[in-house]
């Protein structure tokens, strides 16, 4: 029995890379992310549930991930 295993590397390059300012602008324009981004920019503490209860389901999900989210150069990232 002979086994032939081939491995190929796939490289993708993109010419449309976003700058940090473009990412920040996009995050600020997204109503679900903007709320969390502004909370992170203004406080180290997570807002109470009562404060975000009227927000969208997506914003509530980001709120639940609060400890996994961090700011770098005013851009919101998630730690994995």
Q: Is 63 contained in some domain?
A: yes
Whether 56 is covered by a domain: the verdict is yes
Q: Does residue 66 belong to any structural domain of this protein?
A: yes
Q: Is residue 10 part of a domain?
A: no
The answer to the question of residue 13 being in a domain is no
Structural domain range at position 68: 20-78
Q: Give me the pLDDT at residue 44, please.
A: 79
Q: What is residue 11's predicted lDDT score, i.e. its pLDDT?
A: 67
Overall domain count for the chain: 1
Q: How far apart (Å, rounded) are the C-alpha atoms in residues 53 and 57?
A: 9
Q: What is the pLDDT of residue 80?
A: 87
From residue 35, give the alpha-carbon distance in Å to each of 15, 16, 57. Answer: 30, 27, 12
On the CB side of 16, CA atoms within 13 Å amount to: 0
Flag whether 30 is in a domain.
yes
* 3-class DSSP string for 18-77: CCHHHHHHHHHHCHHHHHHHHHHHHCCCCCCHHHHCCCCHHHHHHHHCHHHEEEECCEEE
| Residues of the chain falling short of pLDDT 70 | 1-15
Q: What's residue 43's pLDDT?
A: 86
Does some domain include residue 1? no
Q: What is the pTM of this model?
A: 0.73
- Give the 3-state secondary structure of residue 78: strand
Q: Is 4 among the domain residues? A: no
């Amino acid at each position: 029995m002979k086994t032939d295993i081939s491995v190929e590397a796939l490289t993708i390059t993109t010419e449309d890379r976003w700058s940090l300012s473009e990412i920040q602008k996009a995050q600020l324009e997204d109503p679900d992310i903007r709320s969390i981004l502004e909370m992170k920019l203004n406080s180290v503490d997570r807002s109470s549930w009562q404060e975000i209860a009227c927000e969208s389901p997506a914003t509530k999900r980001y709120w639940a991930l609060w400890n996994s989210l961090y700011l770098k150069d005013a851009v919101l990232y998630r730690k994995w």
